[in-house]
Chain A
Amino acid sequence: MNFMPILYALLALGALGAIFGLVLDIADKKFAVETDERVAAVREACAGANCGACGYPGCDGFAAAVVAGEAPINGCSAGGAKTANAIAAIMGADAGSAEPRVARVLCQGEIGTAKERYRYDGYKSCQMAAQMVGGPKMCPYSCVGLGDCMDVCKFDAIHIENGIAVIDPDKCTACGMCEKACPRHVIRVMAKDANVIVRCQNSDTGRVAREACMKACIGCKRCEKTCQYDAVHVENGFARIDPDKCTRCGECAKNCPCGCITI
C-alpha cells in the first residue's frame, strides 16, 4: 500500500486551508465594521416585544436610535421605568421620570347595555363590522367588541368580555398599539393616575344616545355643574375631564345619571 498520495493530499489541503485562513483573518482585521456594543446592550434591555410603540422599526431600530442619540432614553413605553433605568445606566445618562400611562376603553357598551342593531356573524374584525351598515351596535361610537385590539396586544392585556374590550391595567404597557388598531378610536392611552374617566364618546343628542345605549353620555351637564374645580366640560355632546384640574373627588361620578363616569 502506497501511503504517499494520501499524505500529499493531506498536505496540499492543509496548506490551502492555512493560506485561506490567513487571508480571511487579515481581511477580518482589515475590513472590520466598527460596532457599538451599547446597541446590543440597549437591545437586550428593551422589552423585546417588537411592538413598534416607540415609533422605530422594532427593538433593534430603537436601540440603534438610542445609541445614535435620536431616540429618548425612556422611549420604550412597553418596558416602562425598569427599561428606562437600564438603558440610562448603559448610556450613562439620566432616565428622566416618565409618567406611568395606561390604555383605557372609553365605552361601556356591553351586551345588554348597548342596543344591538343586528347580529353580526361575518368576518371577525372590528374594522370590517364597523363599516357594515353603521356597525353591529346601535351606537356608532361604541366598542365593536370583535377584538382587533386584542389581536395586536403583545402583552395579553386586552380581552373581550361580554362584547366589550377590557384592559388589564397591570399588564398594559401603554404601547398604544390598540389605540391605533381601534377603528372607532374607543381606546385612548392616558396617565395612569387620571382615574376619573368619562367612558363614553357618543356625541349624539341625549335622546338618540340614550336609545342606543343605557350608559351613554347624554350631555346633561350635571357633572359640569357638580364639579367645584372646573375640571369637567361637556363638548360635542359628551363630557370630558381635564386630568390636571381633576382632584379625583369623584363627585361627578356619583351624580352622573347614566353611570358613564367611572373611578
Chain B
Amino acid sequence: MKKTFPGGVHPLPSLHQGKPLTNDLPVKSFVSDTVCIPMNMHIAAAPSKPVVKKGDHVLMGQLIAEAVGPRGVPVHASVSGTVKDIGMVQQLGKTTSQCITIENDFNDEWVELKGLGNVENCDPEQIIPAIQAAGIIGMGGAGFPTHFKLQVPPDKKVDTIILNGAECETFLNADHRLMVENPVRIVDGLRAAMRAAKVEQGYIAIEDNKKDAIAAMEAAAKGRKGVTVVTLKAKYPQGAEKQIIKAVTKREVPSGKLPADAGCIVMNVATAAAVADAVIDGKPLVERVTTVTGKVREPANLMLRVGTIFLDAIGACGGYSVEEPGKIIAGGTMTGICAPNDTVSMTKTTNGIVVLDQQEATSLEESSCIRCGRCVEVCPMHLNPYRLKNLCDANLLKEAKEDHIMDCILCSSCSYICPARRWIMSSIKNARELIAQRGI
C-alpha cells in the first residue's frame, strides 16, 4: 500500500507534461562567465556579511561572506576569479539584496578543503559545525539553515529524519536525477544528519512515479543502519513538510508548531547530498542541480553554480523556443516565484527554471464561488479555503486567523482545483502578510 496524506490534487497531464521533458536526461555541467551571488539566500537569519572587496581574487569555495548570528549561513565563491562588484541588486526578494558579482577565470581552482572523512566514523559533534561552515540551507525551496534544523532543542524529542525525494512539483526533475545519479551521497548525507541529530530512524520518501530513483536509492540504502526507502503515492503536495510526515509516519504536526514537535526532521534529498559533500570532503555548497525547462529549445537538468544568471542558464539550453516568454518561474509552477526578468540569479534554493509562453502564462478571470466544496476536499491542511477567501476579501483578518489561516501551507491546490477559477491562495497569502504586518 502506497503511503499518502488525505487531500491534495493530481495535476493534469497537460501540466505534468513538464516532467517527461527532462526526467531521463542526465545532469550536465554548465559554468557561466559571471555569477551574481545574493547574500540573503537563506531565511530565518540576517543576510550574510561580505568579507571580500571589489577587485579581490577569489578561489572556488573561498568564503566571501560570513554568517551573521547563530542561525546565519556563510556564502562561498562558486567560481574562481575576480570580484567585480558588491552592490544592491533586485533579486527575487521583496526588496533589493546585497550581491557579490564574480567574473569567472575558468580555472576552477579550489581552496584547500578539509573534510571529516567517513560519515560513519567521524565525530558526530563535528558534523553540525561542518554543515554550518559549508553554508548549507534547505535546498527544496524555503532555504532554512540546515545546521539550525539539526540542532534539536532539548525539550523536543526527535526520532526520525525524513529525506524528501517526493518532488511533487510540476516540471522539476532536479531531485529525481540526483537520486538516480548520486544515491550513495544522499544516503551518506542522511547518515551524517542522523548521527548529528542522534536519530535512529531515517526514511527516504519518493513518489511512485520515479521508479528508477526508488530502485537506485534502495540499492544504495541496503546495509546502511536505520535507512528505509518509502514509496509514496504521486500527488501534489506530497513533498510539503507536514504532508510527508503524515504520509511516512502517520503523525500530525500540531497547529502552529514545527516538525520537531511531531518528532521529525524533514530534509530535501539535495540538501542531504550537500551535507555528505560538506562532511566527507569539507566542500561548501557552491553548485546544485537545477531543471531548466518549459519553452526552451533543449530542456535539461543542469549542474549550475550558485549565482548563475537565469539568462545564462537558459542560454545553455539553447535559449527560448518562443519569441517572447510569458513568464519565467523560479521553482515549479505550483509554488515557484515568478521572476521579473531573466537577469536575476539562481540561489542555493532554485530547483528549477520554468519558462512559460504567453498563452500558458495568462491569468484566468475570476468568477463567483459556486459552493462545490472541492477546495475543502483537496486542502491538505483540512482548512476551509472558500471561507478563508471570503473572510480575506471582506478584510475580516481576525476571523480569518481564528479559522487557522496561518496553518495554510500556500500549496495552491485550492486555486488549482477551483472550477470558478477563484484566486484563493493569492487572497490567503495577501491576508497573511497583512496579519503579520499588523500583528493581529
| Residue ranges of A at the interface with B (Cβ–Cβ < 8 Å) | 117-118, 121-123, 125, 127-128, 130-134, 140
Query: For chain B residues 54-97, which have a beta carbon within 8 Å of chain A?
Result: 90-96
Give complex CA distance A158, B430 in Å. 22
Known: A122-B363, A133-B340. A128 touches B430 (CB 8 A): yes
Whether A128 lies near B433 (C-beta < 8 A) is yes
Q: Which of B226-234, B289-297, B421-429 contacts A (4 or more CB under 8 A)?
A: B421-429
Whether A134 lies near B94 (C-beta < 8 A) is yes
- Closest Cβ of chain B to A138, distance in Å, is 9
Whether A134 lies near B433 (C-beta < 8 A) is no
Whether B429 lies near A117 (C-beta < 8 A) is no
Known: A128-B426, A131-B94, A133-B92. A118 touches B340 (CB 8 A): yes
9 closest residue pairs by CB, A with B: A123-B426, A118-B340, A128-B430, A133-B340, A134-B90, A121-B363, A131-B94, A117-B340, A125-B430
Whether A132 lies near B90 (C-beta < 8 A) is no
Whether A123 lies near B423 (C-beta < 8 A) is yes
Give complex CA distance A195, B15 in Å. 55
Whether A134 lies near B96 (C-beta < 8 A) is yes
Chain A binding surface, main DSSP class:
loop
- Closest Cβ of chain A to B188, distance in Å, is 37
Whether B94 lies near A127 (C-beta < 8 A) is no
Which residue of chain A lies nearest to B423 when distances are taken between CB atoms in the complex? A123
A-B contact count (CB 8 A): 47
Give complex CA distance A46, B340 in Å. 47
Which residue of chain B lies nearest to A133 when distances are taken between CB atoms in the complex? B340
**CB of B46 closer than 8 Å to a CB of A:** no
Question: Which B residues are CB-close (under 8 A) to A118?
Answer: 340-341
Give complex CA distance A123, B428 in Å. 11
- List 26 contacting pairs A-B, 8 Å CB cutoff, sorted by A: A117-B90, A117-B341, A118-B341, A122-B338, A122-B363, A123-B423, A123-B429, A125-B430, A127-B433, A127-B434, A128-B429, A128-B430, A130-B94, A131-B94, A131-B433, A132-B94, A132-B338, A133-B93, A133-B337, A133-B338, A133-B339, A133-B344, A134-B93, A134-B94, A134-B96, A134-B340
Give complex CA distance A117, B96 in Å. 13
Question: Which A residues are CB-close (under 8 A) to B433?
Answer: 127-128, 131
Whether B90 lies near A133 (C-beta < 8 A) is yes
- Closest Cβ of chain B to A155, distance in Å, is 18
Which residue of chain B lies nearest to A128 when distances are taken between CB atoms in the complex? B430
Which residue of chain A lies nearest to B362 when distances are taken between CB atoms in the complex? A121
Query: For chain B residues 316-344, which have a beta carbon within 8 Å of chain A?
Result: 337-341, 344
Whether B430 lies near A127 (C-beta < 8 A) is yes
Number of contacting residues on B, CB 8 A?
A: 22
Give complex CA distance A196, B92 in Å. 37
Give complex CA distance A133, B90 in Å. 7
Give complex CA distance A122, B338 in Å. 10
Which residue of chain B lies nearest to A180 when distances are taken between CB atoms in the complex? B438
Question: Which A residues are CB-close (under 8 A) to B92?
Answer: 133
Query: For chain B residues 393-440, which have a beta carbon within 8 Å of chain A?
Result: 423, 426-427, 429-430, 433-434
A-B contacts besides A121-B363, A134-B90, A134-B96, 19 pairs, CB < 8 Å: A117-B340, A121-B362, A122-B426, A123-B423, A123-B427, A123-B429, A123-B430, A127-B430, A127-B433, A128-B426, A128-B430, A131-B433, A132-B94, A133-B93, A133-B339, A133-B340, A134-B93, A134-B95, A134-B340
Question: Which A residues are CB-close (under 8 A) to B95?
Answer: 134, 140
Question: Which A residues are CB-close (under 8 A) to B423?
Answer: 122-123
Give complex CA distance A238, B56 in Å. 35
Give complex CA distance A134, B90 in Å. 7
Give complex CA distance A123, B432 in Å. 14
Question: Which A residues are CB-close (under 8 A) to B90?
Answer: 117, 133-134
Question: Which B residues are CB-close (under 8 A) to A132?
Answer: 94, 338
Give complex CA distance A221, B170 in Å. 53
Give complex CA distance A134, B344 in Å. 12
Give complex CA distance A128, B95 in Å. 13
* Residue among B90, B362, B430 with most chain A CB within 10 A: B430
- Closest Cβ of chain B to A212, distance in Å, is 11
